[in-house]
Structure 1
């Protein structure tokens, strides 16, 4: 019996070996570096410093600010923005005609397939002090401002919503198409309004899709780097510096590879905590 189980696992062995080689090996090396004082320049050899990098991080106001901004950016652009807007668009497109679905879906997916750097330049041109947004506000005789200076976190959050909503829309479109029409028709015949049908029928039936989408969106948003770097570079004064940008600054601008890697591990821990919460919610019965 045990031999048969091993034979069934044999076809998976090449994939497992590749994962251990290209994922497990670098991850283990990064864990080791996080406990050293490795630097890019000015140091002949690195030495083991234990938890010093982590103690330095939690005593660093810039790191704590980056943690806070990362949570704000993730909540605004992923949990609220992409998730909610994707669900609304999927619901509207389900009831729209085929030409409208095709046109709208094409426009939204186009934003999703754009490279992150290209999307960053487009949104930078939209939000800059002489950009598209202020030009439109001027035509409407409304006050304009430098959005990338006054509200940088909101600007980059909107940019991430604009770029990433298509993924949520596609996930929810597939989930909504799996809901039997008979169930919704029966609820409508019983006198349930649109909001009651959505709350008591639609959302519970796509609960697992919501949890999966939230988990994937959150992990993707936590790792956003190019979009923010192109638009604000974490400024002004660190007001949009999330953990990926803080990690890059410490590791490659300040040459503190050990400290930057420790920050990267802490970012990995944040993503793991989000994943654990979502997985527990997925196992919870409604």
Structure 2
């Protein structure tokens, strides 16, 4: 307790905490988009519980991994070398997670483009999935993103309490944002395709990182932000066209009723 009080009086500790929270939230966007798309495949009554359980398990998993942080750091030790690159457990996990994301995003894009080829796998216009399968897939991606974020956090601070607080705050914010984000994605079908494209890009960057080709996260999130803003403009333009058509449809009717008197 004395150590925690002493740590709380250090300005650099607070700076590290704020930085870590921001980093955890930003890194959690990938996970949140995946969870939103996946839980929207479930029946309406199960979606909220699936998001809560998925993010709750993510929190537990990250806290458990923080308890073994010394072992997590060792995951960066090369196991073997191939093609001039030393592969560690971290690289293998990133490549496996990236391949899973690429496969999942490609499958979802295929279903969205050609839904008639899989009529038995659709429910409410979306690819249906089971509750247990959804939780398993969420936990699998949580593991990949958790290891990546914890290794990054270890490079920013040596204080475990700061890491724990940052993880708890970040996952809590993700839990609060998960519902609105999932509803927004469901209400805007074009956003679904954009989000799947994001997952495809994130999976590709994970594979590249695992192969030793580091892609700065800032480039990825800048591209995502730009694409999101362009899609927002498209949504506003579509809404304006719908309003214009609705008004144009009302005026002729009003004129016709007026001319009949």
TM class, shorter-chain normalised? 0.3 to 0.5
Give TM-score scaled by structure 1 length: 0.32
Instruction: Report 1 or 2 for greater relative contact order, CA contacts < 8 Å, sequence distance ≥ 6.
Output: 2
Give TM-score scaled by structure 2 length: 0.34
Structure with greater proportional helix content: 2
